[in-house]
């Protein structure tokens, strides 16, 4: 899934619109995280495309190297600065895993990787992930817990030419139906059904759906609003829409950001902005 996670703040070019609602509730990153300014680990699912990934962030000062160990004590990430980067030092490090499909039916190519939800949760166990970093004179350490509390995918996405709306869902889209999730809760694989995971924020993205290399693709509108908003809708600024070229195809995306930072996104496309002759 080619999307830009909220942890990666360099999401858009200068022309992009970045708006934060006054009532925004932040996700629950651990700040500070021991000797680190921040650290987090999370699960992200694209319920529409049916893919699933593991993301992490660590933010320290003047580091030459960094590593992460999972709850079993196994090193899952190691990074070392060399040359000019060692002179200037590491600070924030963000990365995300590849995002394999969560079921075989979604494979597009013979060599596409499939990792089902249960296999994924076994690969990334819930528990304490330990972050370590080394500088010239100091060693930094922090720890944060990964939880298998995954919010349900937003449902009923719509765009009427001005307003993006959605509703709360009860499944993980292509990755798990409501019935399957109920079975996973009953068997103890999941601690709680996704429809009962508290959403602390909704991330809403409006993105021109253009080919690679088209600068219009940088004109992204994004906003986060509180998870407890009464009416689940966001108005896209008229000035932003008017600035897009005629016949611009567009897509929308809404993400449910859970109380433990795990996120589930739903997408919808096929919208045509400033239509005169029709979108390609």
C-alpha closest to that of 225 among 251, 199, 189, 186 = 199
- What the block records as the tokens of 234 is 């966001």
CB 91 within 8 A of CB 63: yes
Q: Give per-residue burial for 8-43: e unless 16+ CB within 10 Å, then b.
A: eeebbeeeebeeeeeebbebeebeebbbbbbbbbbb
> Which own/partner pairs from 116-119 qualify as long-range (CB within 8 Å, at least 24 positions apart)?
117/52, 117/172, 117/175, 117/176, 117/184, 118/184, 118/189
Its CATH class, for the domain covering 155-273, is: mainly beta
Tell me, what's the pLDDT at 28? 52
Omega into 234 within 30° of 0, i.e. cis? no
Task: Please report where in the chains the tokens 């995971």 appear, as a residue.
Answer: 197
Omega into 154 within 30° of 0, i.e. cis? no
Tell me, what's the pLDDT at 30? 67
Domain with CATH 2.60.40.10 in the chain: 155-273
Taking residue 144's Cβ as centre, other Cβ atoms within 10 Å add up to 25
Tell me, what's the pLDDT at 29? 58
Its CATH class, for the domain covering 30-146, is: mainly beta
Handedness of CA 68, 29, 153, 184 (dihedral sign): positive
Q: What is the DSSP letter of 72?
A: T
CB 220 within 8 A of CB 280: no
Predicted TM-score (pTM) of this structure: 0.88
Tell me, what's the pLDDT at 31? 73
Q: What is the DSSP letter of 174?
A: G
Average pLDDT per 10 consecutive residues for the chain, totaling 280 residues = 42 32 44 91 98 96 95 96 95 93 95 96 98 93 97 98 98 98 98 98 97 94 96 97 97 97 97 95
């Amino acid at each position: 899934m080619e999307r830009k996670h909220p942890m990666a703040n360099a999401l858009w070019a200068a022309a992009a619109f970045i708006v934060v609602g006054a009532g925004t509730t932040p996700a629950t990153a651990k700040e500070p995280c021991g000797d680190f300014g921040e650290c987090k680990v999370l699960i992200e699912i694209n319920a529409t495309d049916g893919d699933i990934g593991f993301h992490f962030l660590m933010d320290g000062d003047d580091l030459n190297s960094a590593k992460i160990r999972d709850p079993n004590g196994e090193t899952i990430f190691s990074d070392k600065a060399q040359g000019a980067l060692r002179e200037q030092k590491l600070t924030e490090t963000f990365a995300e895993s590849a995002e394999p499909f969560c079921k075989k039916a979604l494979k597009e190519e013979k060599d596409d990787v499939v990792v089902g939800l249960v296999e994924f949760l076994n690969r990334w166990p819930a528990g304490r992930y330990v972050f370590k970093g080394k500088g010239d004179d100091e060693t930094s350490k922090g720890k944060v817990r990964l939880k298998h509390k995954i919010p349900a995918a937003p449902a009923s996405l719509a765009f009427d030419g001005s307003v993006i709306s959605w509703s709360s869902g009860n499944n993980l889209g292509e990755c798990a139906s409501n019935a399957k999730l109920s079975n996973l809760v009953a068997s103890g694989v999941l601690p709680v059904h996704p429809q009962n995971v508290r959403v602390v924020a909704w991330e809403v993205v409006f993105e021109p759906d253009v080919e690679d290399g088209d600068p219009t693709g940088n004109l992204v509108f994004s906003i986060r609003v509180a998870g407890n908003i009464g009416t689940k809708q966001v108005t896209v600024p008229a000035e932003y829409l008017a600035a897009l070229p005629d016949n611009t195809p567009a897509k929308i995306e809404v993400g449910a950001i859970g109380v433990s930072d795990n996120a589930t996104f739903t997408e919808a496309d096929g919208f045509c902005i400033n239509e005169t002759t029709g979108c390609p």
